[in-house]
Chains A and B, each alone.
Chain A
């Protein structure tokens, strides 16, 4: 459906792109971490691309990836990247959709924030940080959004057990510390 988007991308950004693919009606492009901001800016601003609508930002943790019905070589091993951050974009004018995916290693899960390009990703990147521990460089306000501040760990990671309990935290002050400092 958006094959021409993939073609344009591979033509212009050949060394920023790891691979492209198409699955179940979606076009997907895997981009190198360092080139993400440049490629994303071009995707938004180039008139033929015009990806003005952000759809979602999330992350996939491949730690337990052991697909059945596939060759054993596709199972995740320690040498493969652990996280993939996915950004889904849409163009209102041209009617096409694209998913931009960036693979990140376990020991250094950081990439540039796209919140400056599309404000919707502000909160969605906060959510990805909260749930997976991905750090977004350049994000204006990277703090937890769903979980409380004292929460330890990143709940949606595969090695965070579902049944794990954390102590109940009691706050006696009304206003959270960072906010207090700011408006003074």
Chain B
């Protein structure tokens, strides 16, 4: 702790102690505790940081999550496996389809039908997942840019995001809370004309990305505010459990889609961008590159997607067609048991993970033979990344909290569950 005179200099600028006026002498030299959030425009999804500051510089930050805790686990223990899908929508609510897919995969794993989902359903899952990944990155970059003052980038990216939301609405019926995926497949097929709409949309988004890159990449203000801020070493990133764009920005070459491939990712070609310095700028660049890779994946999917069923042909898992359910007792009973009892998953435990917008999003399920999970734990990357933020903001100015938080992409729903 510096002495009184040094402190006063720091606090008041470059004055000498003898030049301080009486009022200035009376100013307190102590560290100050400032509260940031939970209700704060830059604290995405309600997080509270209790900052101990020395002037503008952060000495210590106590990050307190939990303001959006909605008891996902406890609620899941009282709902059937299919009823958990709406809860998963609301975890990482900017990329809900990926959460849906993750949950479906986890249940399929414990059920033993993992990998037996029909090809067309897998392709549809990948298409909507990559679209969701794009909405996640567009929101993250757009919102972070806006918080640094680049309002145009925000508007452009949200416009692009809206095109994707419109398409996702035609697929699932909702912009955000899709609940589209089901155990064993998806609930509805892609609408007619989806191919053409998505192709058109991707072309336009290509253009928007180019525009925003032109606005931000060589922008002195953006560069100064992002470069060197919130840097993390590769070793720290690994030991802190960081995954996704944040880990990749530090040089950790890990992507679930490539390293533990699932669904139809083995049939798709894509690159995994990896950064070097782990600061906010690298995180931004990794995300922009990932956006371009998402577009690449989507174009391949549209070419390769086969015709076929969208739900596994297993009576333990698939609902019967409505005409059968209304006209035969057998299908009526089957429909009834599916809805009321849920899909009965034999006792066991399994952990399944997908590459979410923020990295490895996993679900750890303990099943007990009934139609509802005994335990449904969500391994949320945002929670892990938020825990690193205490280290990242130390030594920086209060104003640096904004880009650091923005680029961590801490989604409150996923962090607090």
Contacts and interface: CB of A to CB of B under 8 A. Distances in A.
Interface in B76-124: 78, 109-110, 112, 114
Contacts of B276: none
Interface string A69-106: 11000100000000000101000100100010000000
A48 interface: no
Nearest to A117: B239
A24 B241 contact: no
B50 A123 contact: no
B241 A120 contact: yes
Interface stretch (B174-182, B295-303, B314-322, B362-370): B362-370
A145 B362 contact: no
Nearest to B238: A52
A17 B360 CA distance: 29
B187 to A, nearest CB: 24
B416 interface: yes
A65 B368 contact: yes
Contacts, number: 124
Given A118-B241, A120-B387, A26 B368 contact: no
B74 A24 contact: no
B33 interface: yes
Contacts of A58: 364, 375, 377
Interface string B365-403: 010111000110101000110111000000000000000
B375 A146 contact: no
A56 B387 CA distance: 13
A99 B351 contact: yes
Contacts of A166: none
A: interface residue count bin: 35 or more
Main secondary structure of the interface of B (DSSP, over half): mixed
Contacts of A53: 238, 241, 254
A60 B360 CA distance: 21
Contacts of A156: 73-74
Interface string A107-137: 0000000000011101110010001000000
A127 B387 CA distance: 12
Contact of A145 (B66, B259, B350): B66
A138 interface: no
B103 to A, nearest CB: 15
Given A23-B349, A156-B74, A54 B369 contact: no
A77 to B, nearest CB: 15
B75 A26 contact: no
B252 interface: yes
A56 B379 contact: yes
A54 B387 CA distance: 13
A57 to B, nearest CB: 10
B366 A146 contact: no
B199 interface: no
B75 A66 contact: no
A121 to B, nearest CB: 8
B278 to A, nearest CB: 15
Contact of A66 (B62, B109, B350, B368): B368
B6 interface: no
B240 A120 contact: yes
Residue among B254, B347, B416 having the largest count of chain A Cβ atoms under 10 Å: B347
A55 B74 contact: no
Given A119-B239, A120-B239, A120-B240, A176 B50 contact: yes
A167 interface: no
A35 to B, nearest CB: 22
Interface string B240-262: 11000000000010100001000
Nearest to A155: B74
A162 interface: yes
Interface in A39-57: 52-56
B143 to A, nearest CB: 24
Contact of B252 (A92, A146, A175): A92
B239 A24 contact: no
Interface string A141-158: 000011110000001100
B35 A69 contact: no
Nearest to B59: A183
Contacts of B388: 119
Contacts of A86: 364
B416 A146 contact: yes
Contact of B351 (A74, A88, A183): A88
A155 to B, nearest CB: 6
A3 B153 CA distance: 50
B348 interface: yes
A183 B368 contact: no
Given A88-B364, A175-B50, A183-B52, A55 B350 contact: no
13 contacts: A24-B112, A60-B366, A60-B375, A88-B379, A92-B252, A118-B239, A120-B241, A145-B66, A162-B71, A175-B33, A175-B35, A175-B50, A183-B60
Interface of A: 23-26, 52-56, 58, 60-61, 64-70, 74, 86, 88, 92, 95, 99, 118-120, 122-124, 127, 131, 145-148, 155-156, 162, 174-176, 179-180, 183
The 7 closest A-B pairs by CB, nearest first: A120-B241, A24-B350, A68-B369, A146-B66, A67-B347, A123-B387, A56-B379
